[in-house]
Every structure is written in structure tokens, then in C-alpha cells.
Amino acid sequence: MGSRIITVSQDGSADYRTVQEAIDVVPLGNTCRTVIRVAPGVYRQPIYVPKTKNFITLAGMRPEETMLTWNNTATRIDHHQAARVIGTGTFGCGSTIVEGEDFIAENIAFENSAPEGSGQAVAIRVTADRCAFYNCRFLGWQDTLYLHYGKQYLSNCYIEGSVDFIFGNSTALLEHCHIHCKSPGYITAQSRKSSQETTGYVFLRCVITSNGKAQYTYLGRPWGPFGRVVFAYTYMEDCVKHVGWNNWGKTENERSACFYEYKCFGPGSCPSKRVTWARELIDEEAEQFLAHSFVDPDPQRPWLAQRMAVRLPYSA
């Protein structure tokens, strides 16, 4: 599989001035890894990567200097695509929407700039399989990172928010990520709907930080009755409530939700004070969640390649 490079800069010195223009020239049914190199700047425009525009890479230099931002909310959407294409409500309000498979982003910040109190305001929705994010930043308040469908791998990323700010029903491994809780709420809202689904979120060797206050956020609540979330080897500041998890006001969720921790530490890690329906995994149970095979399960058709101890998609 060959590759091509497209450049973007707002000053007119590159192939295109906007990221969307660069995406638009990638053909439907794309099979060629297409790297869109994005010059530093704040790009204020909703971004849409359509289905079958596969194998796109967005690459910046530093996520602090290269930002894709817009301010849609679930109740107010201003977009260059029609609602029949991108959807409505929370599903359609992402500043960036990725529906093309084998998508990669590195050194990019994805932001929804809607202010606190705006309700659901997604920075990025990912509805695509085999997507990877490296050294990216996801900025917002409520519903920041919508990992909706498919398998995703996030490495060395920063994710901030308040309410349900990592949510959806994909199969995602977040490794060495920084989770920052800006105000009271819930870190995760995973929506697994049956025990047969293999979806879930694993946070492996991550860090959870606070705004300086204590006891104001939950690790998660089940958006779907079988919501599955694992925190392993993760440092938790004291912003995490001692009880850890919330049942979303439904006691029946306590029988089906799969909320686990494994060898976490820090002042927010309080196994003895957690709700009785969440638990600490034993070594044998944890094993399936601690390897990249959680998001790359088929050894005959792997999509993550081992490169200098970093997992990169083979398609890159």
C-alpha cells in the first residue's frame, strides 16, 4: 500500500488552507495511506471524515500548537454537512467526526469550545474501526470524547472534561493517558448493551488529576446496562469519590455493569470504600485487559504493529 502527503497551512504556503479541504480531495474507497500534515494554528471549522475515506492520518507538530475546534452542542448544530449525513443531537455535534476506518491522529488537539453549562458538546466522535491517536489532546466539558463504535487505541493523550467525558460503545485501550477532571461529574459512560458484546474501555497506566478539590467525580456510570470499564495500574488523585462508581439512578444496573479496577494507586484509589457491585480484579481476570490484544484480538490479521515498543497501525 503506497502513501501520499498533503499539507495544510492557514497562511497559504501549503497545498490547502483548511483541514476539510484536504480531506475532501481524498477519494471515497481510499486504500492509500494519506498523511495530512497540519501546520501550527487554530483551525476553527467542523471536520468530517466520511465513511470509506479510509487510511487518513492527521499529523501536527505539537498538540499545544495545532488545534481543530468548533462549538456545536446537542441543541445547536452549525455544520457544512446536512443532518442526514452527520446526525443530530449529541451524535451530530462533534467538532470532528471520524467515520473513515484506519484513521490516525498524532500531535493534534481536538476541542469543543462551547462553554461550561452548554450541555453535550462533543470534541470528537469516532465511528470507525482501527483508529489510533498519539499524543493528542481532547478538550471540552461534557461528552468530550465520543468513542462510539469500532476499536480504538489512544497513547500518551490528554483528555479533559466534567460529565461523561469519555463515552460510547467502542472497544478502546487508553494507555499512558492523562485524564483531567475539570468539575464534578463522571469520567466514563460506557454503553455496552449485553454481556455478549466485547466492547469496553480499558485505562492502562493512566493518571487522573483534579482541579485542586477533593471527592467530586466518579470513575463512571453505565450508559448501557452492561457498561464495561477497567482502570489498571492507574494513579488517581483525590478528586475521585471513595465510592468510585455510580449506577445512573438505576439499581438494576448494579447487577449487570462491569466496573473493575486492578492495582491502581494514589489518594483516589480506595478499594475498601468502593461500591459493593464494582470490584478489584484478580491477576487471572485482569490478564485479558492488560494487553494490546484487547483492541487487536486477531493474531492472524493484526492492525497494530510493534515498533520500538510503540503500537502503530500496520496501515501506517
Q: Is the pLDDT of residue 307 over 70?
A: no
Query: CATH topology for 1-123?
Result: Pectate Lyase C-like (2.160.20)
Q: Is the pLDDT of residue 144 over 60?
A: yes
Q: Is the pLDDT of residue 212 over 60?
A: yes
Q: Is 164 annotated as catalytic?
A: yes
Question: Nine-digit cell at 51?
Answer: 465513511
Question: Nine-digit cell at 87?
Answer: 446526525
Q: What is the mean pLDDT of residues 188-194?
A: 98
Residue 228 has what pLDDT?
98
Q: What is the mean pLDDT of residues 19-41?
A: 97
Q: Spot the catalytic one: 129, 143, 164, 238.
A: 164
Beta bridge partners of 305: 312
Residue 316 has what pLDDT?
65
Residue 313 has what pLDDT?
77
Name the pLDDT band for 2 (thresholds 50, 70, 90).
confident
- Where along the chain do its domains lie? 1-123, 157-316
CA 297/CA 160 separation, integer angstroms: 29
Residue keyed to cell 483492541: 295
Q: Are strands 171-175 and 3-8 parallel, antiparallel or unpaired?
A: unpaired
CA 89/CA 77 separation, integer angstroms: 8
Cα atoms in the 13 Å half-sphere on the side-chain side of 82: 2
Task: Spell out the residues 6+ positions from residue 224 whose beta carbon is closer than 8 angstroms to its own.
Answer: 169, 190, 191, 192, 193
What's the CATH number for 157-316? Answer: 2.160.20.10
CA 185/CA 200 separation, integer angstroms: 20
Average pLDDT value over all residues in the chain: 96
Q: Which tens digit of pLDDT belongs to each residue from 235-271?
A: 999 999 999 999 999 999 999 999 999 999 999 999 9
Beta bridge partners of 105: 58, 133
Share of the chain above pLDDT 90, in %: 95
